[in-house]
């Protein structure tokens, strides 16, 4: 008979263990998603770097061609060099925009993960609070029945 008082705490323990497991499982899934997003971002950065190298190589080739053709006429050479500088500035701004987009995607994935985690934890707390409240009612009913009440 003295073990009946411990019987009421079993559902609480089960609820707490289930809640902890659910939370850890959800956090693990979010961490996996963040890792996958980080890998994708790293691949995009490598791809951007390869594009930059290819474009800079093309610009070097263009510059060499312009140098060969404009040695005779210095005004043409100056004009070509100015055009090359403009193109390089445009490329630099394009790369800057890509880096901004990558950073925004990374920050957005962290924010989305933390919001989803927060919502999941709120739901878990709400569910556990309801379960604990119901267990309290069940204990009161059990005490009333055990004491000969109606």
pTM for the full predicted model? 0.33
pLDDT in tens, the chain (150 residues): 566 667 777 778 888 888 888 889 888 999 999 889 898 889 988 988 888 888 777 778 887 777 777 666 677 667 778 888 888 888 888 888 888 888 887 777 767 667 777 787 788 878 878 888 888 888 888 777 777 766
How is the chain split into domains, by residue range? 4-146
- 74-146 and 9-70 helices, crossing angle to 10°: 180
From CA 89, how far away is CA 44, in angstroms rounded?
A: 21
């Amino acid at each position: 008979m003295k073990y009946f008082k411990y019987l009421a705490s079993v559902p609480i323990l089960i609820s707490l263990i289930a809640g902890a497991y659910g939370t850890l499982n959800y956090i693990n899934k979010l961490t996996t998603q963040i890792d996958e997003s980080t890998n994708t971002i790293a691949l995009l950065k490598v791809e951007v770097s390869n594009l930059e190298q290819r474009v800079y190589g093309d610009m070097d080739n263009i510059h060499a061609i312009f140098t060969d053709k404009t040695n005779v006429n210095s005004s043409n050479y100056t004009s070509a060099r100015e055009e090359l500088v403009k193109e390089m500035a445009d490329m630099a701004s394009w790369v800057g925009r890509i880096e901004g987009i990558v950073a925004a995607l990374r920050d957005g994935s962290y924010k989305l993960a933390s919001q989803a985690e927060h919502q999941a934890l709120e739901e878990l707390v709400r569910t556990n609070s309801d379960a604990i409240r119901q267990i309290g009612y069940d204990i009161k009913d059990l005490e009333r029945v055990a004491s000969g009440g109606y």
